[in-house]
Amino acid sequence: MTYTRARDETVDFSINFFFTGTQLVVKKGSGIKGVADVAGKLVGAAKASTGEKNLRASQPKADVVLFPDHSAGLLALEQGRIVAYVSDGILLAGLIAKAKNPKDYEVLRDFLAKDPYACMVPENDSKWRDFVNHTFMELIDNGKCFELYEKWFGERGVVPYPMSEKVRNYMIMQSMPE
């Protein structure tokens, strides 16, 4: 679940174990390198989605085209009816992995908004939260966390969504000494 300040008012969270956020997918060679490049251009988003909201906030000059679902948006990108599509980065990576020609697309690295994932735990249950956190820390310290990430999301993973060096360092820094 995305760890937000609002949610933290009613429940507690573990340390973060995955990072994604609102990103753009474009065709390779499009010349689009970031959200500034889509001003005045047609950009797709799922209707009433967080991606739509974040796109409108990040680039109010984009001409937003709404789609009923992500597959329809990717098809529009494939057909050249839009220049980019916006959604949660890991969802975009999954869409690309299923595309006819995955190598034709790229998810731009910059986030329009961030979504750090953490485990929701009951409010004020420090023993359970500590158990969850210490388990994550052990997986980070022994490298198993990064091994599993690489298997599923690395360059040759089931859904390629490589971990940046910044994220890797942040993960390591969350782990407290014993």
Instruction: Kindly report the CATH number assigned to the domain that includes residue 68.
Output: 3.40.190.10
pLDDT band at 50 (very low <50, low <70, confident <90, very high): confident
Domain that holds residue 132: 9-16+119-174
Q: Does 81 map to a domain?
A: yes
3-state helix, strand, coil in the chain (%, to 5): 40, 25, 35
The residue type found at 58 is S
Predicted pLDDT of residue 167: 92
pLDDT for 127 beyond 90: yes
Per-residue pLDDT band for 130 (boundaries 50, 70, 90) equals very high
How confident is the model over 117-123, as a mean pLDDT? 96
How many domains, the chain?
2
Q: pTM for this structure?
A: 0.81
pLDDT in tens, 133-163: 999 999 999 999 999 999 999 999 999 999 9
Domain end position, chosen among 113, 144, 160: 113
